[in-house]
Amino acid sequence: MAQIKSTTVLGILHNGQLALGADGQATMGNTVAKSNVKKIRRLAGGKIVAGFAGSTADAFTLIEKFEEKINSFGGNLKRAAIELAKEWRTDRYLRKLEAMMIVANAEEMLVISGTGDVLEPDNQVAAIGSGSMYAQSAALALKKHAPHLTAEEMVREGLTIAADICIYTNHNFVIETL
């Protein structure tokens, strides 16, 4: 049986605003399984936003684990991310999970992977999933050449460009801002 996958997530910190968005498509192999998956979650009373790409069930498990870490470390984003990455890499069950996450608050954004990586993205732009390189390229160009746009407008346009190019990304976007 093919795994259900979900795809493009883009986050931008720009002019004091964070926007994190994702498309809504989930695929099983080369078939669209669902077109309106919500891949963005607000955590910590709305102060933290998390987005995922990869196997949907795995990502939900990781979001729950991350929320536990956030609660354990008093809302400290970086500490929670590092502790999740350590557990994800070393736990026999968790290390089999196939997903990536972008987590952010109003001041910082991090990419977390199952290999133990916790990365602070360059230029305050992070993207994960199958359409990530298209969305990230568009976002970087917008930050450089259209700085008057809001973070939310940049995320929407970056996701639109990715959806126009990547067959695993659709135009059903969910975008959260802080």
What is the set of active-site residues? 7
* Residue 21 amino acid letter: G
CA–CA distance, 81 with 87 (Å, rounded to integer): 10
Interatomic CA distance for residues 76 and 106, integer angstroms: 12
Pairing of strands 17-22, 26-28: unpaired
Sequence-ordered list of residues with C-beta below 8 angstroms from that of 12, at least 6 positions apart, any chain: 18, 19, 124, 125, 126, 139, 143, 151, 154, 155, 158
Alpha carbons 45 and 7: distance in angstroms, whole number = 26
Beta bridge partners of 5: 27, 55
User: Which residues have CB under 8 Å from 118's CB, separation 6+?
Assistant: 78, 81, 82, 85, 110, 111, 112
